[in-house]
Amino acid sequence: MTDTTATRTLERTWLDATLPVEERIDLLMAQMTLAEKVGQTHQVANIDPDADADEIAAGRISSSLYASGPTGGNERDEGVLVGNIDAAQRHAVEGSRLGIPLLFGRDVIHGHRTVCPIPLGIAASFDPDVAEEIGEIAAREAVVDGVAWTFAPMVDISEEPRWGRVAESLGETPVLSGRLAAGLVRGFQGDDPSEPERLAACAKHFAGYGLSAGGRDYDTVSVGENTLRNLHLRPFKWAVDAGVTTVMAAFNDVDGTPMHAHEHLLRDVLRGEWGFDGMVVADWNGIGQLVNAGVAADLREAAVLAIRAGVDLDMCGGAYLAHLEELVESGEVELALVDDAVRRVLRLKFRLGLFERPYAAQPGAPNAPTPETREVALRSGQAAHVLVKNDGVLPLDASAGSSGSAGSAGSVLLSGAFVDDGDALLGTWVLDGRGEEVVTPGAALRERLGDRLTVADGRFSDVTLMQARAAETSVLLLGEHRSRSGEAQSVVDIGLPPGQIEVLRAVAALGKPLVAVVYTGRPLDLSEVLDLADAVLVVWHPGSEAGNALASVLLGEVEPHGRLPMTFPLSTGHIPTSTHQRPTGRLIRADVDHKEGRYIDALTYPRLPFGFGLSYTSVEYGAPVVSSSTLPVGGSVTLTVTVTNTGDRPCREVVQLYFRDPVAEVTRPLVELTDWALVDLEPGQAREVTFDVDAEQTAYAGRDLTTRVDEGEIVLLTGPDAARLQSVSIQVRNDS
């Protein structure tokens, strides 16, 4: 090292924020020892400013997972270090040779202190603006705790309700998932993730995780690259195009190659074809788990596989820290591979502005829910409510018998699960939201209905039944506690949790109006609920404003307008079912289903189709009309459909556009969602809804895996859900 270089090091020339990021990385990397480079690939869980002080100052830690809270404490809250992350940062910035700041990551998935619906509920809104708002308030609250990076959005496509992680997903279709993911990325990152109230986002888990065999979490995945490209990779591409700064590798293998060792998908596709220049993070000890998967003899070999594949940051596995230096020195790993990983880690740190603002921007500032953030939680919670049955009992009449007591006209019994259990309704992956800050269904309905409401405790008892008999209407809360879905929370049976169906049967047997409200992180088998209840609302886990969202929908203060982002199968045995099923040599025909179906003991259609949801009015769809029957490649046609509100209440209709490619090089979905529009209609109002359709929307990966657009017929279909569609055909022509 020359004197000049030493002086430059001292000067920390890379701190000049007017220089382009790549130049700053060059300047910094020119000063880094191999050990310091390897340090930048290492993430620890729960960094401790005291215990880890020496390691941080030695430049051996790049990032921390979970630790949160800039000042105070060092307290441990359920094993997670809270407070004092600025103290850890000080060791890095002021105590280490190069002063490279630490990167603090945390799972901020559907809210931070203010909790919005679980991602599957966000997907039910079909509204990317809702997703963006949620990302925005979550980021604003999280930066107060010093968090700079969140591990969201999850964009794993799954047709598997047994898999607990569908709760974290944005539904089963690539376009819905992709657009909502882009909305969340915009919300978290803004135009520039270095803005003080933004976070880096992370598209996860790349790729194929939703196909875990049997819905068992972390299981193996058998899938061909054509299906990956036509389905599972697409939302990731959407997130990358939206500027997501990081991608997380998935725990699973893909046809025998674990994703943490998948050079082809991580290097050729993600970086090569898509031009992703962000950082790839391992999932929790995903590199170490290559040993368990039986593709590496030990941690050292695992490190070789992962760095070659393109995993840049080792989440809590320690493989890189323990072995990369020696692997480079022995020539088994090229320095260029480590340099590439370090460059990507540093690029993220520069992009986040951490070199300029390493410490929490507003230490100690309040980040508890405010009226403004609660408003976002309320609106997104309402948008997640999917009305799947209504025999006229909803909306409840808010005015009737308002001065009466239980037993009088208009009296309501609220019973079942989670009536006053706020924590249960927060949903999976909530590290910072607090159960006591949730407005429960009991609280919200008490406030609105006063003494018209009787609240029974959640247990099934004779008293509950007596109360149900006395009330005019029963609102029965059913479904899953939040801890029953999410990571490592798979089930073998998607029926209601034990005991609930008995309560439903007993209350239904009273013959009084019965509204069933279903909290869930997954599609459930709702067959009996749909048979027995007069109205059914699927509301997922709505978060901080759960009760207000429910009460406002039940009482008709707002119109329900959510739609199912996943197909609800007839039973567990019917899994997998999805809207994008591909045709086979023997088509299933609805009219003769029992003969030509796939089972001898059951029909094969879904219980509730993808995209399904009712409102408190009725809507009629006209036939779709196209501006031209020919669609040139590179051009577009306009499709128009008239929707009419034929009832006496306003509504927000989710007008859906699907397509089918009847003759293609590979089997293509029977219908695939390609676009939709949210349309507000007053009673009696008719509106023409137009969609621009590009030939590129019909593109797919062919037999040679390259993207192609076929000439010939494309069927366009519009309607209120995937099962009620009217079609029109166009011809795609390549005139060039």
- Kindly list the residues in this chain that would bind ligand BGC in the complex (CB under 6 A): 65, 107, 151, 204, 283-284, 487
Token pair in block for residue 7: 């002086």
CB of 352 to ligand BGC, least distance (A): 18
Residue (28 or 254) nearer to ligand BGC, CB = 254
Please give, one letter per residue, the 3-state secondary structure of 666-694. Answer: CCCCCCEEEEEEEEEECCCCEEEEEEEEE
CA distance 385 to 376: 15
Residue (165 or 446) nearer to ligand BGC, CB = 165
Confirm if 149 and 105 have CB atoms less than 8 A apart: yes
CB of 575 to ligand BGC, least distance (A): 22
Q: In what order do the strands lie in the sheet with 514-519?
A: 386-390, 535-538, 514-519, 473-479, 412-416, 453-455
Residue (284 or 460) nearer to ligand BGC, CB = 284
CB of 487 to ligand BGC, least distance (A): 6
Residue (69 or 442) nearer to ligand BGC, CB = 69
CB of 158 to ligand BGC, least distance (A): 14
| Phi-psi group of 199: left, alpha or beta (phi > 0 → left; psi -120 to 50 → alpha; rest → beta) | beta
Using DSSP, state whether 121 is helix, strand or coil. Answer: helix
CA distance 450 to 444: 10
Residue (250 or 637) nearer to ligand BGC, CB = 250
CB of 153 to ligand BGC, least distance (A): 11
Residue (250 or 551) nearer to ligand BGC, CB = 250
CB of 726 to ligand BGC, least distance (A): 40
Residue (90 or 165) nearer to ligand BGC, CB = 165
Using DSSP, state whether 725 is helix, strand or coil. Answer: strand
Dump strand ranges (E) for 527-650. Answer: 535-538, 619-621, 625-626, 630-632, 636-645
CB of 150 to ligand BGC, least distance (A): 9
Identify the CA nearest to 61 among candidates 378, 318, 259. Answer: 318
Residue (283 or 675) nearer to ligand BGC, CB = 283
Residue (332 or 487) nearer to ligand BGC, CB = 487
Termini Cα distance of the chain: 60
Q: In what order do the strands lie in the sheet with 279-281?
A: 202-206, 246-249, 279-281
CB of 205 to ligand BGC, least distance (A): 6
Residue (126 or 284) nearer to ligand BGC, CB = 284
Confirm if 303 and 326 have CB atoms less than 8 A apart: no
Identify the CA nearest to 507 among candidates 525, 534, 526, 484. Answer: 534
Residue (85 or 455) nearer to ligand BGC, CB = 85
What is the DSSP-derived secondary structure letter of residue 625?
A: E
By CB neighbour count within 10 A (0-12 exposed, 13-18 middle, 19+ buried), where does 306 fall?
buried
CA distance 426 to 78: 18
CB of 247 to ligand BGC, least distance (A): 12
- Report CA 72 to chain centroid distance, whole Å: 32
Using DSSP, state whether 704 is helix, strand or coil. Answer: coil
Residue (204 or 541) nearer to ligand BGC, CB = 204
Token pair in block for residue 189: 């990152």
CB of 476 to ligand BGC, least distance (A): 33
Torsion angle (degrees, nearest 10) of CA 618, 567, 546, 506: 80
CB of 204 to ligand BGC, least distance (A): 6
Confirm if 112 and 432 have CB atoms less than 8 A apart: yes
By CB neighbour count within 10 A (0-12 exposed, 13-18 middle, 19+ buried), where does 371 fall?
exposed
CB of 250 to ligand BGC, least distance (A): 8
CA–CA distances in Å: residue 268 to residues 63, 250, 271, 312: 26, 17, 6, 15
Identify the CA nearest to 178 among candidates 256, 120, 237, 102. Answer: 237
Identify the CA nearest to 543 among candidates 61, 94, 138, 10. Answer: 138
CB of 206 to ligand BGC, least distance (A): 11
What is the DSSP-derived secondary structure letter of residue 268?
A: I
Residue (235 or 562) nearer to ligand BGC, CB = 235
Single-letter amino acid, residue 414: L
Residue (240 or 478) nearer to ligand BGC, CB = 240
CB of 30 to ligand BGC, least distance (A): 33
Which residue's Cβ has the minimum distance to ligand BGC? 151
